[in-house]
Amino acid sequence: MTSLEFHPKHQYVREERFPHVWCPGCGLGILLQSYIGAVEKSGIPQDNHVLVSGIGCTARIPGYVNMDTYHTTHGRAIPFATGIKLANPDLKVTVISGDGDLFNIGGNHFIHAARRNMDLLVICSNNFNYGMTGGQHGATTPPTSKSASTPYGNIEPAFNLPHLAYALGASYVARWTVMHPRQLVKSIKTAMEVKGFAFIEVLSPCPPNFAKFNGFADGFEEMEFYRSNSIVRNEAKLDDISIDPFHGKPVVLGDFVNRKRASYVTLERELIKKSMEGSR
């Protein structure tokens, strides 16, 4: 066999599981590629990485990755991952899931994991709607945009996810799109080195749903719209970066936060040490 018969990242994927479930024009293939690119660059052995997801299109990513992977219940990836991380703090535990999973049904778990500064990397693919169930609106759907359940336009405000994560105390916060794969790989790799809670929002198109409902011809056109309506501002004020390109406001991207805060695992280790000494 020549090396040409294998994809360079062959060892990181379960080839027998392909083709994948995603639609033509979806961004999740790029996110999958970016994650394993970061794993490769991380210097952490492949078997020390664990990937956990909830339910939805993004949550199917772990199923294609050749490591210990957990496809859990809707919204519960973060507490499940918390259990794994505490049981074995030596593992690099990443949660990869969609905006609906992490911020609608799973919102409570997100805010508490970030508050605890739990040693997890959470990557959220944000496509502004529930993709797998047919494009209904959720907590990240931009105001006025249409979805399968907002036929007259969305009247709800949307989450500003980096601002939320920062306010809760996350050690690391970034936002990219799948049209920024190099920055994204770098960002995920950096986040893997963080002690504490790291959060990356990744904008991704949803061709059959959000794109269709909001006048984009396909996924690429939707992505191109975000790319050409976005700016990189690492030093951006996070309260001012809500996503609303439909009203002339560019999407702000960047590696916004990388700060040192005592992480949960660090503090728990100290607590256990002190408690074990005290008990003798």
Partner 1 sequence: MTDVLPPGRYFTDGNFASTEGAILAGCRFFAGYPITPSSEILERMSKRLPEIGGHFIEMEDEIGSMAAIVGASNAGMKSMTATSGPGFSLMQENIGLGMITETPTIVLDEMRAGPSTGIPTRVGQGDVMQTRWGSHGDLAPITYSPNSVQESFDLTITAFNAAETYRQPVIIASDQVIGHLSETLEVKSEDEYEIVQRQTRKVRNGSEDVYNYSDDFVPMFVSGTGFRGNVDSLTHDEKGYPSNEAYVEKKMLEHLLNKVRKNEDKIVKYEEFYLDESDIVVVAYGITSRAAKYAVKIARKEGIKAGMFRPITLWPFPEKRITQLSQRTKTFIVPEINYGQYSHSVREVGQIETKEIHFTPGAVPDYKVILDQIRRSVS
Q: Which residues bind partner 1 (CB under 8 A)?
A: 14, 17, 47-48, 50, 52, 55, 62-63, 66-73, 75-76, 78-84, 86-88, 90-91, 108-109, 111-112, 268, 271-272, 275-276, 278-279
Q: Which is nearer to partner 1, 60 or 146 (CB)?
A: 60
CB of 21 to partner 1, least distance (A): 9
Q: Which is nearer to partner 1, 218 or 268 (CB)?
A: 268
CB of 111 to partner 1, least distance (A): 8
CB of 98 to partner 1, least distance (A): 15
- What is the maximal distance between C-alpha atoms in the chain? 69
Phi, psi of 139 (to 5 degrees): -75, -5
Give the C-alpha separation, 149 to 134, whole Å. 9
Residue located via tokens 């394993």: 36
209 to 19, 32, 113, 219, 228: CA distances (angstroms): 21, 21, 30, 9, 21
Give the C-alpha separation, 86 to 180, whole Å. 33
Q: Which is nearer to partner 1, 22 or 80 (CB)?
A: 80
207: buried, middle or exposed (CB in 10 Å: 19+, 13-18, 0-12)?
buried
CB of 15 to partner 1, least distance (A): 12
Beta strand pairing status for 198-203 and 121-126? parallel
Give the C-alpha separation, 39 to 8, whole Å. 13
Q: Which is nearer to partner 1, 117 or 177 (CB)?
A: 117
Q: Which is nearer to partner 1, 78 or 123 (CB)?
A: 78
Q: Which is nearer to partner 1, 247 or 280 (CB)?
A: 280
Q: Which of 94, 105, 24, 103 is nearest to 61 (CA)?
A: 94
CB of 107 to partner 1, least distance (A): 10
Q: Which is nearer to partner 1, 44 or 236 (CB)?
A: 44
Q: Which of 185, 228, 188, 220 is nearest to 204 (CA)?
A: 220
Give the C-alpha separation, 123 to 191, whole Å. 10
CB of 127 to partner 1, least distance (A): 21
CB of 88 to partner 1, least distance (A): 5
